[in-house]
Amino acid sequence: MFQSKLPDVGISIFTQMTLLAQETGAINLAQGFPDYDPPQELLEALARHARTPGHHQYAPMPGLPRLRAAIAAQVARLHANAPAPDPTHEITITAGATEALYAVLAAVVRPGDEVVVFEPAYDLYGPAIRLQGGIPRYVRLPAPHFRPDWDTVRRVVSPRTRLVMVNTPHNPSGAVFSADDWNQLARLLEGTNALVLSDEVYEHLVFDGAPRLSARQHPELRERSFVLSSFGKTYHATGWKVGYCIAPPALTTEVRRVHQFVTFAVNTPTQHALADALETDTTDAHACGLANFYQQKRDHFRALLDGAGWDLLPVPGGYFQLARYDAFSPATDLAFANYLARDKGVAVVPVSAFYHDGFDDGLIRFCFAKEAATLEAATARLR
């Protein structure tokens, strides 16, 4: 009889709630994708390269050299006080950050290794660790600010710790690692062989004038870190599934050992289009404008719900809003999410889905990466 390697895993909550939205006609504030298109110049670049002879065959396994060079140049401009990554030996183009996450875990986690995961956490983390024979060691981030208690983390790290997974800005809470958080992590790992996987797909979405800080900018962490980013988040093109991993040469070699057998290469016309976008935007106007773009959406969404009884938690970054609903219902978060979709016509995600044990703190997640009209229609129902 066949035995599943992940018998407790079904379809993701994001898929479930999107299907429910389609079934009920609810406005979908559940799954994390914009309802607007990428910049017009990027779409035109994609069309141009789709018509260019020779741009429909395999790209080089690590990614197009011109795209990796453009990433290196932008990272050098945006990551102050950190050396530019070597595009040849330190940057790998992946099929979205999801593939990069899996490739890193498959490359470095062996059976019995422990991986520290901060919860709530993106639902890929735990299953991908377990598929490698690793053991997730969960550390709960306390609401409402979802910042690590470093004394707790210190008690969890052991000689068996192979990797610490960081997500900043954080999904689902929007919490952002501060300089002190990076310093605390560096001190904690000093003298160990543990590595860091820093999931920075929302790297440009840091609000209220706070600095955007990466694991690469910390000298003690840079040599032990895999840093992941996503063009899907940066260019409102989640369906393109293009991301990248930056890591020191020895770590990049290990990622590529896996990447070549998972996808081998990412689609060629899209890589050319993204390279065009980066090469022509030498002032990084698009990337640097994202914080204000999404901060306005955050503030608009919160203003629309002001005075309506929702307890809206702080949102330092990202494009999700957490909210308590205890003024309306004592139901579980999953039951309340189903009620909102079926009875009020708004699909959301219950935050218990981000905990391995289903911990329910009475929170739901809204995605505010939507057109103003979408947010206004949804909040009219939520009020």
pLDDT tens digits, one per residue of 295-330: 999 999 999 999 999 999 999 999 999 999 999 999
33 and 162 share a domain? no
24 and 45 share a domain? no
Do 39 and 277 form a contact (C-beta atoms < 8 A)?
yes
User: 188 CB contacts (<8 Å, ≥6 apart)?
Assistant: 150, 153, 154, 157
69 and 145 share a domain? yes
CA distance 222 to 249: 11
101 and 223 share a domain? yes
In a domain, 8, yes or no: no
24 and 70 share a domain? no
Q: How many domains does the chain have?
A: 2
276 and 139 share a domain? yes
Three-class HEC string of 81-94:
CCCCCCCCCCEEEE
Between 3-17, 64-78, 106-120, 184-198, the lowest mean confidence (pLDDT) is in: 3-17
Which three-class secondary structure state does DSSP give residue 204?
coil
The confidence score (pLDDT) of residue 11 equals 84
19 and 62 share a domain? no
Domain stops at, among 246, 280, 314:
280
Strand positions, DSSP E, the chain? 27-28, 91-94, 114-119, 135-140, 161-167, 195-199, 225-230, 243-246, 311-312, 320-324, 346-347, 349-350, 363-367
In a domain, 333, yes or no: yes
pLDDT band at 252 (very low <50, low <70, confident <90, very high): very high
Classify residue 267 as exposed, middle or buried by CB count within 10 Å of its CB (0-12, 13-18, 19+).
middle
In a domain, 297, yes or no: yes
CATH number at residue 304: 3.90.1150.10
Does 225 score more than 90 pLDDT? yes
CA distance 378 to 35: 13
Q: What is the mean pLDDT of the chain?
A: 96
311 and 226 share a domain? no
CATH number at residue 259: 3.40.640.10
In a domain, 64, yes or no: yes
101 and 220 share a domain? yes
Edge-to-edge strand order for the sheet containing 225-230?
Answer: 91-94, 243-246, 225-230, 195-199, 161-167, 114-119, 135-140
In a domain, 253, yes or no: yes
Tokens of 353: 């889905």
The confidence score (pLDDT) of residue 80 equals 86
240 and 99 share a domain? yes
CA distance 171 to 173: 5
Question: Which range of residues forms the domain containing residue 339?
Answer: 13-38+285-382
The confidence score (pLDDT) of residue 318 equals 97
Domain stops at, among 228, 257, 280:
280
CA distance 267 to 262: 14
In a domain, 5, yes or no: no
The share of the chain scoring above pLDDT 70, in percent, equals 100
pTM for the complete prediction? 0.96
pLDDT band at 1 (very low <50, low <70, confident <90, very high): confident
In a domain, 52, yes or no: yes
Domain stops at, among 249, 280, 311:
280
179 and 165 share a domain? yes
In a domain, 66, yes or no: yes
pLDDT band at 13 (very low <50, low <70, confident <90, very high): confident
The confidence score (pLDDT) of residue 168 equals 98
29 and 148 share a domain? no
